[in-house]
Amino acid sequence: MNKDNESLLFKKRLFKTLESVEDALKLIRESLEDNIVDVVEVDVRNSLHYYSAEDVHALQDVPNYDRSAVDGYAVISSDVIGSSITNPTILNIVEKIYANSSYEMLKPLHHGETSIVYTGAPLPPNADAVVMFEDTKADGLKVQIFRPLSPYQNVSRKGEDFQKGSIVVGRGTLIRPWHLAALLSTGYEKIKVFRKVKVGVMSTGSELTEEWQNTGVINTTKPLLLSLIKEEFCDAHDFGTVPDDVDAIRERILYAIKDVDILLTTGGTSVGVTDLVSDAISSIDGSKIIFHGVRMRPGKPTGMAIVKSKPLFILSGYPVASFTGFEVFVKYAINLLRCSKPLSYPKIRAKLARRLAKPVGVKAFVRIKVYQLNGEYVAEPLRLTGSGLLSTLTRANALLVIDEDVEGYDEGETVEVQLLE
């Protein structure tokens, strides 16, 4: 049998085992139930972009007392009913209270009394409202109040921001700046988080060069993936490029998989006549190919295996196809390992600038350029194929996912696209 017929046979064999995207995700989920990464404790101030490993409950009410929201006079609201400029209520000033005054030291108000409070100051016992300086006139130790107040007017109530015991940050939440500040405000100095997921990349392909040359193909897919890994708040590990040789690929996989939680390979999966990465994986004791070949476009040759109990993703050597494999499958796996969910892209509706057709039974991921025209969003498909074209990524700002059972869309049809930027 000549090599070309072998190639054809391989393609048929591959095609037979193609999974739908949904089934592939299910297989990933089932395979990674025991792969959740360790929990570590970090200072809250250093916790930015970690994922919380627990539901964090507020240790106390925030604010911990009723506090003034303005500068003014704390009063008992029933004392000032009916107050006006022409009929002011006159109260006796008891003390001044600042944001850092201790609640325990405050003098309780009796009827006819008031205390000066600055923004953030705890209200003294019995006070239930604050009248702003603007609505008063002080005269020595007495003050005229020119307006009535409803109970708790101008008061930040105890527990109004966070109630003791309420959840400040849920398990699996990406810690953003406001979560970090909220954790500090409710009394936390440390937080349990999932340690960073370590993701390695190794490329296969004798034709690949690391630097630009006139012959061969510069390996842009590996730097692309390493950067995507960093944008997912993971540690990225570069395991270089190996030639098209099953033994070399196997040795590099065994070397790399020890140090990472997830290993990505690029190439060696659809070009040429044999499937070197699959063969290398199959030659490793206890390894298992979970799926290989997905009914999606681009990214059809994407696969996943378990090697030494760790997930290995077989990605295309082509940048756009590997990008799609990363977006759809690797991100999903990363988030399973830290008990989180992939951040979903915001969606907008836009009018398609030209007709898009695709085969039924294949899920398509089309790079889109969205722009506004006469106050309307227009979605211009950049390319349905062309998995080698980086320019479709640099020019795209959105993604259109076309489901398996859809044949395509007509020009002018309204579609929902995901915004990438």
271 is an interface residue for a copy of itself by CB under 8 A:
yes
39 is an interface residue for a copy of itself by CB under 8 A:
no
106 is an interface residue for a copy of itself by CB under 8 A:
no
- In angstroms, the CA 215 to CA 208 distance is 9
- What is the dihedral sign for C-alpha 314, 250, 310, 284? positive
179 is an interface residue for a copy of itself by CB under 8 A:
yes
Q: What angle do CA 345, 229, 213 make, to 5 degrees?
A: 115
2 is an interface residue for a copy of itself by CB under 8 A:
yes
Interface map 196-215 toward a copy of itself (x if CB under 8 A): ---------xxx---xx-xx
In terms of CB distance, is 337 or 350 closer to a copy of itself?
350
252 is an interface residue for a copy of itself by CB under 8 A:
no
Distance of closest approach, residue 367 Cβ to a copy of itself, in angstroms = 10
385 is an interface residue for a copy of itself by CB under 8 A:
yes
Rg (CA), the chain: 31
If you write DSSP's letter for every residue of 323-361 in order, what string do you get? HHHIIIIIHHHHHHHTT--PPPPPEEEEEESS-EE--TT
CB 401 within 8 A of CB 381: no
Q: Which of 26, 230, 341, 355 binds a copy of itself (CB under 8 A)?
A: 230
Cα-Cα-Cα-Cα torsion 290, 319, 380, 409, nearest 10 degrees, comes to -30
Q: Which of 390, 404, 406, 408 binds a copy of itself (CB under 8 A)?
A: 390
119-138 positions binding a copy of itself, by CB under 8 A: 119-120, 133-134, 136, 138
- In angstroms, the CA 173 to CA 165 distance is 18
CA within 13 Å, CB half, 234: 26
62-101 positions binding a copy of itself, by CB under 8 A: 62-64, 69, 71, 98-101
Distance of closest approach, residue 142 Cβ to a copy of itself, in angstroms = 12
Q: Which of 108, 125, 151, 216 binds a copy of itself (CB under 8 A)?
A: 216
Q: Which of 145, 182, 199, 368 binds a copy of itself (CB under 8 A)?
A: 182
332-351 positions binding a copy of itself, by CB under 8 A: 343, 346-348
In terms of CB distance, is 48 or 339 closer to a copy of itself?
48
Distance of closest approach, residue 5 Cβ to a copy of itself, in angstroms = 7
Q: Which of 117, 191, 228, 321 binds a copy of itself (CB under 8 A)?
A: 228
Q: Which amino acid is at 229?
A: I
In terms of CB distance, is 174 or 353 closer to a copy of itself?
174
Give the number of other Cβ atoms within 10 Å of residue 282's Cβ. 14
The strand pairing partners of 127, in sequence order, are none
* DSSP 3-state of 202: strand
Distance of closest approach, residue 9 Cβ to a copy of itself, in angstroms = 11
401 is an interface residue for a copy of itself by CB under 8 A:
no
Pairing of the two strands 303-307 and 310-315? antiparallel
Q: Which of 95, 144, 147, 160 binds a copy of itself (CB under 8 A)?
A: 160
CB 157 within 8 A of CB 61: no
> Residue 317 has what DSSP assignment?
S
Binders of a copy of itself: how many residues, by CB under 8 A?
85
- In angstroms, the CA 141 to CA 131 distance is 16
